[in-house]
Amino acid sequence: MISPKVTIHLDRLKANFDLVKKQVNGKTIMAVVKANGYGHGGATCAKTLEGHGCDFFAVFSIDEGIELRDAGIQSDILIFSRLDQSRLNEAINYNLILNISHRMDLDNVITYHKETGFSLRTHLKVDTGMTRLGIDVDSIPEIIQLLVDYPEVKCEGIYSHFATADEGDLSYAIEQQTKFKSILNVAYDMGYSFKNIHLSNSGAVLNVDQSLYNVVRVGMLLYGAFPSSEVPMDLPIQPVMTFKAPIVTVRKVPAGTHVSYGGVYETDSITHIGVIQCGFADGLPRPWYEKGYVSHNGKKIKIAGRICMDQFMVDFGNTIPNEGDEVLMIGQEGPDEIRIETISNTIQSTPYVIATGIGGRTKRIYQG
């Protein structure tokens, strides 16, 4: 097959789930499978995890939630996006949990119940410092009073999101944690309690003490990557994704040969340049070319020049590979390993950006 391919190792996904479950002392894991499971295949990963004991999932949009239901997922599904008044019937029909992040959202949920008699399932999103979606701290008493006054609103959970839980300096995360505790105390003092309470994300699971409530939202750790280089990295998670591509041409070139756009790479001796059938349109980050490499038969082979849209070149030196051989670009398979964190750290990106950027024209193959 003369095209790049992504292999998703579902056995590794299950093993990572088990490791995280142990790390959080058996608390409920809400597996985050938004953005097509961070590029790994949301529905397939969810089906695998549900069959392995996971009973809570999170996605961003109503459409992603419906996709999971259509794939046969029976477990709870939380929608992270702002509540969409025009799609409340779908939330009922597909049994999706909606996000209340604004007073207007709660008003719409109450109005919907008055008009239809149906109670929407919801979680309350509070802003403790991300400054994205969420109820402001000062508005919490008003919102809680509305929930007390309208018990027909099924507000099953409350949560917030850390902004810096994957950084070495945790002072801001601790401030957020303190605010979240104070919000919970306000609710308790007003006689309101929540079934599901969640604050920790992947970074917090590894890095923020006492942030674990009864539910933990986990995404990147399940897929076998650490959210940043500033968190403890001793949990033996395995990369679930392997990204490979074939060598389509090998050319012997003399010293002084310029390779790829701009001619920024120049050979310093007779060498063998391999053309790899993959480019930045497939998800290989273009900035990686400066210090990047691929792995072939356990050896690092440096990238030669700028990554093109559909192809890139590598310098094999004296080695003469076979056309049709595959090189590994991301992941681990046999003797070859390039962790996605290595690439993201080198190009000052994140594993999230790289994983979700691996394009739709790249075929996914599921194993395990």
Strands (E), the chain: 5-9, 28-32, 56-59, 76-79, 98-100, 121-125, 154-159, 196-198, 215-218, 241-253, 258-259, 265-266, 271-276, 293-296, 299-302, 312-315, 326-333, 336-338, 363-367
**CB atoms near residue 7 (< 10 Å):** 17
3-state SS, 121-187, equals EEEEEECCCCCCCCECHHHHHHHHHHHHHCCCCEEEEEECCCCCCCCCCCHHHHHHHHHHHHHHHHH
Angle (nearest 5°) at CA 363 between 358 and 368: 100
What was the pLDDT predicted at 1? Answer: 66
Q: Please report where in the chains the tokens 């599901």 appear, as a residue.
A: 196
> Euclidean distance between the first and final Cα of the chain, in Å?
21
Give CA–CA dist 163/170, Å, rounded: 10
What was the pLDDT predicted at 37? Answer: 98
Residue 127 in tokens: 């802003």
Q: Please report where in the chains the tokens 């529905």 appear, as a residue.
A: 43
Which residue, among 110, 84, 79, has the nearest Cα to 96 in the 3D structure? 79
Residue-range domains of the chain with CATH: 10-218 (3.20.20.10), 241-367 (2.40.37.10)
For residue 325, give Cα distances in angstroms to 295, 320, 322.
11, 11, 6
Per-residue pLDDT of the chain (368 residues; tens, 9 = 90+): 689 999 999 999 999 999 999 999 999 999 999 999 999 999 999 999 999 999 999 999 999 999 999 999 999 999 999 999 999 999 999 999 999 999 999 999 999 999 999 999 999 999 999 999 999 999 999 999 999 999 999 999 999 999 999 999 999 999 999 999 999 999 999 999 999 999 999 999 999 987 789 999 999 999 999 999 999 999 999 999 999 999 999 999 999 999 999 999 999 999 999 999 999 999 999 999 999 999 999 999 999 999 999 999 999 999 999 999 999 999 999 999 999 999 999 999 999 999 999 987 898 999 99
Give CA–CA dist 239/40, Å, rounded: 11
SS3 297: coil
Catalytic residues, by residue number, are: 34, 261
Residue 288 in tokens: 């990686």
| Helical (H) or strand (E) element with 284 | none
Contact between 152 and 126 under an 8 Å Cβ cutoff? The reply is: no
pTM of the shown model: 0.96
SS3 228: coil
What was the pLDDT predicted at 210? Answer: 77
Residue-wise DSSP of 43-63:
HHHHHHHHHTT--EEEESSHH
